[in-house]
Amino acid sequence: MGWKFWQKNTRTESVGHAPKVKLPKPKELPEHMGMYLVVKEKMDPDWVWSLKCAKRLRENDKSLFDFRIFSESDAAEAGVNVSNYDVLDNHINLILFHGYSDKHGYDFHIEKDATEKAA
C-alpha cells in the first residue's frame, strides 16, 4: 500500500504552500544584551531585566538571529499577546530595541527604536 506513517505530511504541503517556520517564544533578555544596556547605555537595571527578547533566524545567514526587545507589561496593557517575533510586525510601537546577534552572542548590534517610550 505504500503507507509512510513515519513521515509527516502537513496540510500545507498537500495544498502546495511552503510550510511556515515555527518561531520560538519570547524569552528573558540574554545576559550580554542586558549588561550592554545597563553598563554602556546607563539604563535602569530593574527595567532592563524586566524586558523580553523575541528572536528569529535570518533567512540568508543561518548563523545570525534578528531580535526585537519589548516590554511584556506594555504589551499586556495594549492587549497584545506576543507569542513570537512576527507578532510585533503589527505592533511596531511595542518594540523598544531591535538588532541582530550571532548564535553565541559574541557579536551583536542593538539599535534603539525610533518609537521608543521614555524608560
Predicted confidence at residue 53, as pLDDT, reads 94
The predicted pLDDT at position 62 comes to: 81
| pLDDT score of 49 | 95
Question: Each residue of 9-21: b (16+ CB within 10 Å) or e?
Answer: eeeeeeeeeeeee
Question: For 46-97, what is each residue's pLDDT tens digit?
Answer: 999 999 999 999 888 888 999 999 999 999 999 999 999 999 999 999 999 9
- What's the per-residue H, E or C state across 53-115? EEEEECCCCCCEEEEEEEEHHHHHHCCCCCCCHHHHHHCHHHEEEEEEEECCCCCEEEEECCC
**The residue to which cell 530595541 is assigned:** 97
Residue 12 has pLDDT above 80, yes or no: no
Sketch the domain layout of the chain as residue ranges: 22-112
